[in-house]
Amino acid sequence: MSADACDAAGHCITCSDEGVAMRVVSLSAEGAVCVDDEGNSHEGVAVELVEPVAPGDRVLVHAGVAIG
């Protein structure tokens, strides 16, 4: 994987152990739209592992998948 695939902190989204706490804003067929604590929006977060979820719920997201 190239360095371009990693963020500014040097963490690769697919191999770091970092999870990001997010809040569910809305749900769609493509997944959830979530926002992080800084208000950055992330679309298409997969929530199948933690269903049922509803807008307002907090989830832990790793590599675009809610894991907790």
pLDDT digits (tens, 9 = 90+) for 8-46: 555 555 566 678 899 999 998 889 999 999 999 888 999
**pLDDT single digits (tens) 10-19:** 555 556 667 8
Contact by Cβ (8 Å): 43, 31: yes
What average pLDDT does the chain have? 82
Interstrand relation of 58-62 and 41-45 (parallel, antiparallel or unpaired) = unpaired
The fold adopted by the segment(s) 3-66 is SH3 type barrels. (2.30.30)
Residue 50: the pLDDT is 94
The domain locations on the chain are 3-66
- What does residue 41 show for φ and ψ, rounded to 5 degrees? -85, 140
Contact (Cβ atoms closer than 8 angstroms) between residue 25 and residue 34:
yes
Whole-structure pTM value: 0.73
Q: What is the pLDDT of residue 12?
A: 58
